[in-house]
Structures are given as structure tokens and as C-alpha cells.
Amino acid sequence: MPDFSHEAEGAKRDERAAVLTRRRALTAPQRTDAAGRVQAELVALVRRLRPLWMTAYVPVGSEPGGADLPAALHAALPPGGELLLPVLCDDLDLDWAAWTGPDGLVAAGRGMREPTGPRLGRAAIGRAELVVLPALAVDRRGVRLGRGGGSYDRALARVSATALTVVPLHDGELVEALPAEPHDRPVRAVVTPAGGLRTLDAAPGGTAGVVPHTSAGRTRGR
């Protein structure tokens, strides 16, 4: 019997390599423009949703959003709102700690920058109303292509069914279909520089073009 899991992982490796090559080819002005557009969409989303508990991360290298993304998101939260950032565990799972500012970050494994504050536990993401997480690509079913460590697949298993999960991408990284495996956890929305915010047709609990828990706001869909 064919080993479809092996085939899927091989296809994922090829797709990762292709996306990373395209990202490395982006010029500095292109990266800056993309970061500004993506960040503005996410800030507007936070202001509309007004979550009291959300998670994000520090984009590094060619990841969209800009290194100052946590600061911008935290500033958009309502009074008393908490922003959590991931802390990579030895087994590649994710713990969480509160954002306290850029001076509270240190370099960590896999190029991440992590907060130095008290660890809140792996289950802390379960309280988040909004989860902003990285990926190399996402398809229209919500299947995301990560970097292969499985960290966010494990973290997403703890996310509330009512939370909005959003992935910032570069243009061209929202694709028709990606290879999927049983452990893959779909996300509900993406943000791209040209396309803005859009929810995904087949993602759990989502209706394309509609952002949950908002009474107003701009979304873009096809």
C-alpha cells in the first residue's frame, strides 16, 4: 500500500523550499511595504475584535508583518488586554509568556525571539480569542504549511473553537491546495498585502469573507 504520509511530507518539503526561495528574492522595499500593509490589517482587526487575550509572534527575516508587529498589536488592544508570545520548548511544543516590550525579548532557537517573562503554560493559548500565527503558505481549506517542526499543530489543538486563527502571508502564498496530513490543524483566515483580510471557505467555523465576532470592518474575498 502506498505511503501517502511520506508522499505528503515530501511534497511539503518541496513547497517549503519554493516559498523560502521566493521570500528570499523579495527586495528590502518590497518587504517593508508588505510588512506595513499586513500590520495595518492586523491592527484594524484587533481594534474591531477587542480581544482581552490574544497571541502573536515576532516575525523574523522574510516573514511578513515586521519585527515590530507585537508592539503594534499590543497598542491596539483594549485596556487590560494581554498579548502572549510563544516560547519554544525542548520538545518543540510551545509555551507562552506575556509581551512586555522589545527589551523583554531574547534570541532563541529556530530564529525566534521570545519573551523572558514568567511562563504561563502550554494551555494558555486556549484562552485566546485571537491567534496570529506564522506559516509559509495556506490553502483555501485553511491547511497551513509550517516549517516542519509541528509546534503550531500542537498549539492549535489547544485553541478554542470560537477563536479566530489568522496567518499573515506574502502575496501569492494563499494557494488552491496544499498536501495535508492527519495531524495538520486548519486556520480560519489569512492576511496578505494586496488581498487584505479574508476568511477561508472550508476552515472550521468560518464563512468566506466574514470575520467572526465583528459588527463592522473590511474583509476581502473572491
Q: What is the C-alpha to C-alpha distance for residues 42 and 191, in angstroms, rounded to an integer? A: 8
Residue 218 lies in a domain: no
Q: Which domain holds residue 77?
A: 4-199
Phi-psi category of residue 152: left, alpha or beta, with phi > 0 → left and psi -120 to 50 → alpha: alpha
pLDDT tens digits, one per residue of 120-157: 999 999 999 999 999 999 999 999 998 878 899 999 99
Tell me the pLDDT tens digit for each residue of 95-121. 999 999 999 999 887 678 899 999 999
The answer to whether residue 209 sits within a structural domain is no
Please give the backbone phi and psi of residue 190, each rounded to the nearest 5 degrees, phi first: -135, 160
Higher pLDDT, 6 or 126: 126
Say which residue, 166 or 185, is predicted with more confidence: 166
Domain assignment present for residue 213? The answer is no
222 assigned to some structural domain: no
Residue scoring higher pLDDT (102 or 181) = 102
Number of domains in the chain: 1
Q: What rounded mean pLDDT belongs to the chain?
A: 87
Task: Let me know if residue 73 belongs to a domain.
Answer: yes
**pLDDT tens digits for range 67-78:** 999 999 999 999
Residue 18 domain-assigned?
yes
Note if the pTM is more than 0.75.
Answer: yes
- What's the CATH code of the domain at 13? 3.40.50.10420
Quick check: 81 pLDDT over 70? yes
3-state secondary structure of 167: strand
- Residue 214 maps to a domain: no
Q: Can you tell me the distance from the alpha carbon of 62 to that of 144, in angstroms, rounded to the nearest whole number?
A: 17
Which residues, including other chains, have CB under 8 Å from residue 215's CB and lie 6 or more apart? Answer: none
Residue 215 lies in a domain: no
Residue 15: pLDDT band (50, 70, 90) is: confident
